[in-house]
Structure 1
Amino acid sequence: MNALFPKIAFHTGETPMSWASRQAAFHTGGRVVPFLNDLGIPIADLARGKRDAVERLCVKAGEDPAEVIRNSIVPVEHRRFKLCGEEFSAEFTTGPVTRLCPLCIAEDIGSCEHPDEAMRHRVQWRLAPYRTCPKHNLPMSDIRMGTWSDMLHELQAMPEAIAEQLEVAKTRSRREPSRLQTYVERRLAGEAGPAWLDDQGIDQVCRTGEMLGGLLYYGPGKKAADMTEDMWDAASRKGWSLLEEGPDAIRTVLAETLTCCLRQNGHPSPRSAFGMLYGWLFASRLTKDPGPIRDLVRDVIIEHVPLVPGQMLLGKAVEHPRLSSITSIAKAEGLHSKTLANVLRVAGVIEDGEEQKSARNVVADYAKAKVLIDRAKRAVPVTQVPDMLSASRPIVAELISLGQLTRIQDHGQLQSKLGKSIDGRSVQRTLKFIEGVGPLLEEPPETHVHLAKAAEKTRVTLRAILEMLFRQFLPTVYRLKGCHGFQAVLVSPDEIMACIADPPPDASDEIRFWMG
């Protein structure tokens, strides 16, 4: 077939298939499939927006291909498409459903003698979020004939259905387009919107808005499968008001929604609280990245719901939940649940009486519990510390008073044997200090004696002498070779008295008390 004459102009906003259908009606009086077959253009290629098919049609019709290509929805990978530089999933389109405004079609036809040559299908009508005609403020009509040719969206093949929708339009209530729909139009036109939305895929923004709006407008009991297009439109309006406020506002609303929906055990239930939003994000068949909403929901759940360490949540393992049951924490950390409950109660992490409940129903802050668990694992019974440091019990008692040795719990909370135990790390720090405090000697010099003897000779308390030792107020300290810990430490009584006579500026009141 030679070049088509006369030329049928391509209209701005029209789809390539719509243009081909109008040319078929004008030049052959028939349908688009045999027309394209005569041109040697595979119908499936043009329906998929393949560039070669579009360019061949433009050559035959004498049209600049730039605008026609711009209006082509082009596949980029499996079930992914692109339009005007924006990439989106197949669900962002209407699929085989032909969406149209019957009043726009009526205006196309006007008084035209051959209506099939005039009616145009717009590319924006191919998009699922496009639910209201901005020209007529009319809800869009959806038509599906139930044949393979539905994928062509050939208006010329459905005159009776269009006429029926034109009658329906006379009684339908009017509405303005949703702001989410307007955002889609403007974004496809290259206009900038809210930055955090523009950083997402256009389909991610729309689906997030619809799901959030569906949850907030219809409640968590509504299923996405039961939603009509009018309901999705209402949901998108509700969702947009939250979307444009940004992630912090979304997080706040989700947290409020979650904490108001409790199970019988008093714990929040994400499934019951988030409804269709939960069903969408937690669907096992969800292969598309839903965008930032997934991390927002995940963060809210971690913040408010008891989880098991290592539990998979929206594609990621929660290694350290913020909240977890006593049972889960104890299992993960290798402790008995009763021991852990006692430790947490003593520290005030759980309230009195909570440990009497079933361990799986008692919830604790995992981070706070982890600190206490680490201490508990390093707990050293106070009776073993003298042997570990080769120190007398009075010395150990003074080291605790000085804070050099620390208990597992604060002093006011010593209500268990574990709480009274010494943190093994403080024992190791003390021992390391002693082992490096001074040079080793084979024999003690006449000027230096052991700590107990120094206290006896100077009549100064062990606490004051230990402070001088650990704060390095004494010029010379030695260690006796062959001895361990505090048994090896040698100090000078004269240096102790010199420190008492002229204490350093940062000396404690304990040292200053002994000043003559």
Structure 2
Amino acid sequence: MTELLRLRVPLRPGQSLLSFVAHLARRNGINRLDQFCCDVDLKPLALATGQPQQIDRLATLSGVPAAALQAEAVFISKNGCAVRGQKLMRADIESSGQSICPACLHEDYITAESAFSRSAYMRTIWRVTAIRTCLRHSMAVGPFLGQDRRLRYEPALFLEVTATRLNEALRSAVQREVSPLERYLLRRLDGVGGAAPFLDRLDFYVAARFCEVLGVAASEGPRVSPSEVGEDRLRASGTLGFEVASAGEDAISTLLVEMQSKSALLHAMNAGPGAAFGALYRLLAANKTKPEYSGLREFLKRHVEATVPLVPGRKFLSMPLQEGVVHSVRTASLVTGAHPKRLRKILAGLGHVESGREGGTDHDVTFDAAGARALLESLAEAMSMKEAAAYLNINRMAFSAIVRSGRLQPVLCAGEIEGIGRSVFTRSQLDRFLANLEARAIPIKKTGEDVANIGEAARHCCCTVADVVGLILEGKVLWVGRSEGARGFQAILVRIKDLRQLVCGEAAHGLTLRQFGREIGKSDAAVKVIIGAGAVKTIEAKNPVRRNLQIYITRDEISSFRSNYVSSASLSPHSSLNNKVIKFFSEKGVTPRIRIPNRFDCFYKKSDVEEYLGELEHYLSNPA
């Protein structure tokens, strides 16, 4: 049977397809829908699930345009459902098809021009579980008379049963206003949008569920799920969620911040950044692979990054988190590896933590992540002086000397912040320092006798390691090598001869005290007596090799001393006659100008003894 039916009925406003087919069956004298469908080659299950071929077949039989039938069809597939172009899940469609608005059916009854079973009809909208209130009568929609699975595909028979108990259903139904969320969803089903741009971007069922879950999380707390609240509280939660969501992203973010401030779970150990959002987070986590929820997941992720201290790289709803807007002492400690107590002192000392907020827990003490980024990057690779010396492969004394010389400055000096007693260096800073030393280095496998590392070369040339480092960095050392068999600082090589020429100063214009004593043939003690008597004047000058201050006697002073003084030992042809020389001058009344204690030796002024030198020679040659 494929031609247009002779006896037809009109499609009523909002009438479901099965209800329309049931009216067609009754109009053609067949009480049961399944029998009628068998006669006209229709399949009730296929019509109930919106198969296009069956809808076209029904359009051919009834004379109703296929587009009008499709507008009231519920399209069900393995990927979900659709009603009037709006996407739903199968759970969002009432499966029995026996939810009713008693007032609508009563109105059908009192205005009926034919049998109730052919005038009353089931509405498509009653199957959408998100809309539980009749817009026309402000009455709750639901299975008030129970559900009979035997009548699932027999709407006419179901309505006949309902007619006998309609007054009972009217008494049990609840009068209530359509909620703002339900009004919004009804407008979407009618093809009217624009009232809530944020929600308009979401699928129908996602928008409905988001509003309800957001309201439950905000009003009932993070531990309560929508399934645990009654219908009235769920409607109230949906209203709250819609009012916030319809105002846009800023309003939603404000509500989420309020939820975070009230939630103790946010500060619980290992609670995670989504703990404060309760049912909302659980909804998105359960649907983290569904593209329909991707917009909400991205939104909540951005909100978390903007408000919650985070460890970059960790995942939230299966999405990697970027660096957040704020950090806490806890998350910064995890990022940098620094001890929380030390980190808290550094942050407070450098002004990153507001005054008066230092006393909370590590998770509660927050600060601006961008403002402290450079500091945290430094602390992530921070080293103490001991660790830095080991990293460079240099002994701590030499490393300290380099730091004192200013060639390598810590990023944070000891004592700069109260409570921080150790200087801080960074790995990148040490790498740059080593790279600068090796900039002109030539790789060599075997060292020669005149080549040594910086420490050994400094000892050979009587200078400090810091001096050698400075000369290398200034480019004054002509040849720099790098030993392939050593690591770090110990691998840097220089030529001792080149270094000595750089560190040795000009030769001193005179003799040291010991050199002076050797030149005049006297001991160190005798030299001290001579200087103490004022016979020679001394000067202080830097040692050209050791570069320490040393006492010198100039050549002019030595010449002056030789021309003015003569020792008794030099006048005696033999040391055994020294006493006779002293006795001779004593008899002549000549007094020594300089006496050397504990020695039979003294110095005379040449002017005092010149007239007696002839007699002295005769005196010494006479054995008597």
TM-superposed CA distance for 1:283, in Å, is 4.5
> 2:105 touches 2:120 (CA, 8 Å); kept in 1?
yes
Q: Partner of 1:98: helix, strand, or coil? A: coil
1:47-62 aligned within 5 A: 47-62=48-63
Pick which of 285-294 and 216-225 moved more.
285-294
Q: Partner of 2:178: helix, strand, or coil? A: coil
> 2:386 touches 2:396 (CA, 8 Å); kept in 1?
no
- Matched residue type, 1:399: G
TM-superposed CA distance for 1:250, in Å, is 1.6
Q: Partner of 1:75: helix, strand, or coil? A: strand
Q: Partner of 1:106: helix, strand, or coil? A: helix
TM-superposed CA distance for 1:378, in Å, is 8.9
> 1:215 touches 1:274 (CA, 8 Å); kept in 2?
yes
> 1:73 touches 1:83 (CA, 8 Å); kept in 2?
yes
| 2:431 corresponds to 1:428 | yes
1:48-87 aligned within 5 A: 48-78=49-79, 80-87=80-87
| 2:382 corresponds to 1:376 | yes
| 2:264 corresponds to 1:262 | yes
> 1:408 touches 1:423 (CA, 8 Å); kept in 2?
no
CA 1:29 to 1:40, structure 2 compared with 1: closer, same or farther past 3 Å? closer
Q: Normalized against structure 2, the TM-score is what?
A: 0.59
Identity of aligned residues (%): 20
TM-superposed CA distance for 1:319, in Å, is 8.2
Q: What is the alpha-carbon distance in structure 1 between the residues aligned to residue 311 and residue 399 of structure 2?
A: 45
**C-alpha distance after superposition, 1:27-85 (max 9, x if no partner):** 2251322211221211111111111111112212222222112221212433x012333
TM-superposed CA distance for 1:365, in Å, is 7.6
CA 1:478 to 1:149, structure 2 compared with 1: closer, same or farther past 3 Å? farther
Q: What is the alpha-carbon distance in structure 2 between the residues aligned to residue 378 and residue 33 of structure 1?
A: 86
Q: Partner of 1:348: helix, strand, or coil? A: helix
Q: Partner of 1:142: helix, strand, or coil? A: coil
- Matched residue type, 1:65: A
1:208-223 aligned within 5 A: 208-220=210-222, 222-223=224-225
Q: What is the alpha-carbon distance in structure 2 between the residues aligned to residue 387 and residue 103 of structure 1?
A: 92
> 1:326 touches 1:341 (CA, 8 Å); kept in 2?
yes
CA 1:74 to 1:349, structure 2 compared with 1: closer, same or farther past 3 Å? farther
> 1:391 touches 1:486 (CA, 8 Å); kept in 2?
no
Higher relative contact order, chain-length normalized (CA < 8 Å, sep 6+):
1
Report the counterpart of residue 13 of structure 2 in structure 1.
12
**C-alpha distance after superposition, 1:192-223 (max 9, x if no partner):** 32333222111111100011123334445644
Q: What is the alpha-carbon distance in structure 2 between the residues aligned to residue 172 and residue 144 of structure 1?
A: 10
Q: What is the alpha-carbon distance in structure 1 between the residues aligned to residue 209 and residue 476 of structure 2?
A: 74
Q: What is the alpha-carbon distance in structure 1 between the residues aligned to residue 366 and residue 162 of structure 2?
A: 62
Q: What is the alpha-carbon distance in structure 2 between the residues aligned to residue 265 and residue 66 of structure 1?
A: 55
- Matched residue type, 2:409: L
**Of 277, 280, 283, the match for 1:280:** 283
> 2:23 touches 2:118 (CA, 8 Å); kept in 1?
yes
**Of 478, 488, 512, the match for 1:480:** 478
TM-superposed CA distance for 1:252, in Å, is 2.3
> 2:112 touches 2:120 (CA, 8 Å); kept in 1?
no
TM-superposed CA distance for 1:275, in Å, is 4.4
> Which runs of 5 or more residues in structure 2 are unaligned?
443-457, 459-466, 483-491, 503-624
Report the counterpart of residue 36 of structure 2 in structure 1.
35
- Matched residue type, 1:254: L
Report the counterpart of residue 242 of structure 1 in structure 2.
244
CA 1:64 to 1:409, structure 2 compared with 1: closer, same or farther past 3 Å? farther
1:231-380 aligned within 5 A: 231-262=233-264, 273-283=276-286, 289-298=292-301, 313-316=316-319, 340-348=339-347, 371=377, 373-376=379-382
1:196-207 aligned within 5 A: 196-207=198-209
Q: Partner of 1:407: helix, strand, or coil? A: coil
> 1:86 touches 1:202 (CA, 8 Å); kept in 2?
yes
- Matched residue type, 1:482: V
- Matched residue type, 2:91: E
Q: Partner of 1:480: helix, strand, or coil? A: coil
RMSD of Structure 2 on Structure 1 (CA): 4.9
Report the counterpart of residue 508 of structure 1 in structure 2.
none
> 1:138 touches 1:169 (CA, 8 Å); kept in 2?
no
Q: Partner of 1:95: helix, strand, or coil? A: coil
Q: Partner of 1:124: helix, strand, or coil? A: helix
Q: What is the alpha-carbon distance in structure 2 between the residues aligned to residue 180 and residue 254 of structure 1?
A: 19
Q: What is the alpha-carbon distance in structure 2 between the residues aligned to residue 50 and residue 20 of structure 1?
A: 15
Q: Partner of 1:13: helix, strand, or coil? A: coil
- Matched residue type, 1:412: E
> 1:180 touches 1:240 (CA, 8 Å); kept in 2?
yes
CA 1:379 to 1:135, structure 2 compared with 1: closer, same or farther past 3 Å? farther
> 1:355 touches 1:362 (CA, 8 Å); kept in 2?
no
- Matched residue type, 2:479: K
Q: What is the alpha-carbon distance in structure 1 between the residues aligned to residue 381 and residue 133 of structure 2?
A: 63
> 1:270 touches 1:278 (CA, 8 Å); kept in 2?
no
TM-superposed CA distance for 1:276, in Å, is 3.6
- Matched residue type, 1:119: A
Q: Partner of 1:87: helix, strand, or coil? A: strand
Which one has the largest radius of gyration?
2
Q: What is the alpha-carbon distance in structure 2 between the residues aligned to residue 188 and residue 82 of structure 1?
A: 10
- Matched residue type, 1:481: W
1:182-201 aligned within 5 A: 182-193=183-194, 194-201=196-203
TM-superposed CA distance for 1:426, in Å, is 1.8
> 1:213 touches 1:236 (CA, 8 Å); kept in 2?
yes
Q: What is the alpha-carbon distance in structure 1 between the residues aligned to residue 106 and residue 413 of structure 2?
A: 81
CA 1:94 to 1:325, structure 2 compared with 1: closer, same or farther past 3 Å? farther
Q: Partner of 1:82: helix, strand, or coil? A: strand
Q: What is the alpha-carbon distance in structure 2 between the residues aligned to residue 421 and residue 319 of structure 1?
A: 27
> 2:144 touches 2:173 (CA, 8 Å); kept in 1?
no
- Matched residue type, 2:234: W
CA 1:346 to 1:319, structure 2 compared with 1: closer, same or farther past 3 Å? same
Q: What is the alpha-carbon distance in structure 1 between the residues aligned to residue 439 and residue 274 of structure 2?
A: 59
CA 1:291 to 1:148, structure 2 compared with 1: closer, same or farther past 3 Å? farther
- Matched residue type, 2:296: I
Q: Partner of 1:245: helix, strand, or coil? A: coil
Pick which of 56-65 and 260-269 moved more.
260-269
> Which runs of 5 or more residues in structure 1 are unaligned?
440-451, 453-461, 494-516
Q: Partner of 1:399: helix, strand, or coil? A: coil
Q: Partner of 2:9: helix, strand, or coil? A: coil
> 1:204 touches 1:291 (CA, 8 Å); kept in 2?
no
> 2:43 touches 2:54 (CA, 8 Å); kept in 1?
yes
